[in-house]
Structure 1
């Protein structure tokens, strides 16, 4: 192929590798743009949640069957009573240099639906044979305030990690999903977790300074431009390396 005073003679394998590279790099760029669009929707939802302020939390069994429930990122005021006899412990949670548990206590709403309340972190007792902690909770009717989020997910999950059929309370679980939490109880359980407000009594170490959004949309656009630029550089390298000036 003649390009001005240059002759472009790339090997077939060079063209093939460049095409594959351009496709892969462009796909990564498109994926980052999609992530940016998702983050834009997440930012808008977070701002709406902040503007709405705390809302009464009302969930019925019919809501659960219809797939309705609390909204992620919103702050709620819940009324009910703690079921302290059936607590869950999220295992292997680190606070500073110490390992411990996050205490999840069911709050039974007036509708009978249970919501899991994360009351904070407690240290693990030293010794392999040490009993699991079973922290006390306020008794009687309570009115609590908190932030709603999804159940935390591990970085990697292999196969079916459902942990049902356990006996005894409290039960220590390793990043359970919604189905795993629900199979611990005979009563209906909401999909999600209420992080107990740091100023509320009846809790433990609570450091909820987590960023619900992560990378902002503009950062994903920057990453997308980098992937597209790398695809362009791959084409330029192919042309420059395989172009020779005519005698």
Structure 2
């Protein structure tokens, strides 16, 4: 292709590689923009939650089965009694240099619905032969204040990792999805966790990040601009390397 006194003649494989690279880089840029839009909605939801203040939580089986429940990011006040005999332990949780568990204790509401309360971190002691910790919980009727979030997600989940055939209590699970948590009980379980207020009694080590937004929207826009800039640079390199002045 002649362009004035210059000739642009890239090899076919150079064009193919550049087109593929530009497509990938542009796709990453679009993905970052979508993440920025998601974070903008998340920031707005968290701001609304802070303005709303704590809410009293009332759930029945119909609401849980219908997918209705607490909203992530909001603070709730819940009354019921702890079922300390049927606790779950979230495995391989690290605090500093120590490994341990997060203790999830069911709070049984008057309706019979279980709300999983994350009461904090406890250390792992001994070796594999040592029994798992089974911390005590306050007895009788309690009123719990906390922050609602979904069940934590692993960086990568491979296949269907439901563990519904376990026996004995407490049961140690590794980033269980909601279905796995529910199949441990013969009663409805709310979809999510109530992170026990750090100042509330009856808990353990709690350093909750109640602003679990991560990167702010502007940071995603910066990353998007970098990906798009790299795509433009790839095109410029293709042109510069394959353009020669005609004799």
TM-score range, shorter chain: over 0.9
1:25-76 C-alpha deviation (Å, 9 max, x unpaired):
1111111111111111111111111111110011111111221000001000
Q: What's the counterpart of residue 6 of structure 1? A: 6
Asked whether the equivalents of residues 147 and 210 of structure 2 are also in contact (C-alpha less than 8 Å), the reply is: no
CA distance in 2, matches of 1:15, 1:154: 39
Query: What is the correspondence of 1:215-226 to structure 2 with a 5 Å cutoff?
Result: 215-226=215-226
Q: CA deviation at 1:5?
A: 1.6
Question: Unpaired segments of 5 or more residues in structure 2?
Answer: none
Asked whether the equivalents of residues 107 and 116 of structure 2 are also in contact (C-alpha less than 8 Å), the reply is: yes
Q: What's the counterpart of residue 198 of structure 2? A: 198
Task: Say which SS state the counterpart of residue 67 (structure 2) adopts.
Answer: coil
Question: Unpaired segments of 5 or more residues in structure 1?
Answer: none
CA distance in 1, matches of 2:245, 2:127: 76
TM-score (norm 1): 0.97
CA distance in 1, matches of 2:171, 2:14: 58
The farther-off stretch of 67-76 and 118-127 is 118-127
Q: What's the counterpart of residue 113 of structure 1? A: 113
Task: Say which SS state the counterpart of residue 154 (structure 1) adopts.
Answer: coil
CA distance in 2, matches of 1:148, 1:108: 16
Q: CA deviation at 1:137?
A: 0.7
RMSD: 1.1
Q: What's the counterpart of residue 87 of structure 2? A: 87
Q: Does 2:181 match 1:154?
A: no
Q: Does 2:26 match 1:26?
A: yes
CA distance in 2, matches of 1:204, 1:117: 12
Query: Which runs of at least 4 in structure 1 moved beyond 3 Å after TM superposition?
Result: none
Asked whether the equivalents of residues 83 and 105 of structure 2 are also in contact (C-alpha less than 8 Å), the reply is: yes
Task: Say which SS state the counterpart of residue 224 (structure 2) adopts.
Answer: helix
